[in-house]
Structure 1
Amino acid sequence: MALLPILTAPDPRLKQKATPVGTVTPEVRRLMDDMLETMYVAPGIGLAAPQVGVLKRVIVLDISPEAEKRAPLRMADPELVWVSDHDATFEEGCLSVPQHYSDVARPAEIRVRYKDENNVEREMEAKGLLATCIQHEMDHLDGVLFIDHISALKRNIILRKLLKVKKTGTSAAPVA
């Protein structure tokens, strides 16, 4: 396994749409494993292939508490087949938008269809943090960041700070 570089906003590659995998090959499985290793080291609870510069519809996540046994999910070509009518709001952060967090409302419950690491088509229901994390990572596959769900003013402040960090190499102060 290998650690992969994580792109940070406003990198234009994060705004591109990923292409379907089709079949989960050994190369896709290796990508999933490398993404999980990268996510754990970062540390994070989810990562999408576009965040590591690969425009494929692949996400990985693990919301289990650190002290417990890991429970990674690997998903290729995920698609939402049902979303609830009611929303839940969670404070979201992102490895591609480091040190910045904001409340985002999303459907509270979902059903997602995907191919697992063995190319088996699966369907699962999720609610709470897991539903939010899946939707957050799936947004990356369409070039959408969590900051695209917040006000333009707050988004622009965050993006200006991240751009300054890239140019100067200093750290950005979080926006509350």
Structure 2
Amino acid sequence: MASTTIVQGAEVADYPTIPAEADRGRVLRVTEVGEDVLHHPCRPVTEFGTEELRTLVDDMFATMLIAEGVGLAANQVGVDLKLFVYDLTTDDGVRYVGHVCNPVIEVLGEETEEIEEGCLSVPGPGVDLFRPLQVRLTGADIEGEPLSYAAEGYLARCFQHESDHLNGRLYIDLISKRSRKRVLKDMAELRPEVLDRRAELTTTHGKEPVAYPDQPNV
């Protein structure tokens, strides 16, 4: 278990293993590489404090839980909005949970780090990828209140990965053509097992199942 939990930038006590948002939310289909919504920049959130936005955040947390992800962007559930959610625990035992609308990434310093990175929209494989080690994330919450977080390491990587999604960029767009070809080949082999796992977890958590196409549109 995480020794410390930070929710929307503030430390909290007695945070549940499964966030209340994930309990409330319904599971949506995760869009996959090749679908148009993943390959162009999303629209900024302009209407805050709405029931639709709160419901979307709940559904994204539920979908991220079932897909066993640490971050999920709105276009990964087919919604063209600049919004992502996250729930991850770093190596030092700190859990970070939250959502961000209209994220902007500022790189802090020149240090980079190479770690294997994967993506729920490229189910199965991963590849080593360099990213800046430290960033600042600015944006707003679903009520429109401004947010600003300094992050490093795993958290910084998550923030960059999800912000890239909202700008129409997947991690496989940042690697060589040869590596991309290998990743897509591996995805074709591993995808059925990943989708079976998602179906199993959907049942385990008492959620309504979702259907995926037999083949991705790659």
What TM-score do the two structures reach when normalised by structure 1?
A: 0.85
Instruction: Find the counterpart in structure 2 of residue 100 from structure 1.
Output: 125
Alignment of 1:15 onto 2:39: yes
Matches within 5 A, 1:64-103: 64=89, 71-103=96-128
Equivalences for residues 116-131 of structure 1 within 5 A: 116-131=141-156
- Structure 1: distance between partners of 2:89 and 2:116: 17
- Larger Rg belongs to: 2
User: Structure 1 vs Structure 2: percent identity of aligned residues?
Assistant: 35
Distance 2:96 2:65 in 1: 12
Q: CA deviation at 1:151?
A: 1.0
Q: Which AA in structure 2 matches 1:5?
A: R
Aligned to 2:179: 154
Q: Is the 8 A contact 1:4 1:38 kept in 2?
A: yes
Residues of 1 paired with 2:108 and 2:58: CA distance? 28
Q: Distance in 2 between matches of 1:149 and 1:25?
A: 35
In structure 2, the partner of 1:28 is: 53
Q: Tell me, what secondary structure is at the counterpart of 1:63? A: strand
Checking the alignment, whether the CA contact within 8 Å between 2:124 and 2:187 is kept in structure 1 is no
C-alpha distance in 1, partners of 2:165/2:140? 17
Deviation at 1:160, TM superposition (A): 5.0
How much does 1:116 deviate?
A: 1.4
State the distance in 2 between where 1:69 and 1:32 align. 22
Count the aligned residue pairs.
Answer: 168
1:18: how far off? 0.2
CA distance in 2: counterparts of 1:24 and 1:116, whole angstroms: 8
| Pairwise CA distance, 1:81 | 3.4
Q: Within 2, Cα distance between the matches of 1:40 and 1:70?
A: 15
Match of 2:79 in 1: 54
1:140 alignment partner in structure 2: 165
Q: 1:82: how far off?
A: 4.0
2:65 corresponds to:
40
Partner in structure 1 of residue 26 of structure 2:
2
| Cα shift readout 1:37-95 (whole Å, capped 9, x = no counterpart) | 11011110000001111110000011127xx8964210000112343211112211110
Q: Structure 2: which amino acid aligns with 1:9?
A: V
Match in the other structure for 2:88: 63
Give TM-score scaled by structure 2 length: 0.69
2:83 corresponds to which letter in structure 1? V
Structure 2: state its 5+ residue gaps.
1-24, 193-212
Following superposition, the deviation at residue 163 of structure 1 comes to: 6.4
CA RMSD of aligned residues (A): 2.5
Give 1:159 shift. 3.0
* Cα distance, 1:85–1:103 mapped onto 2, change above 3 Å: same
CA gap of 1:69–1:127, structure 2 versus 1, over 3 A, is: closer
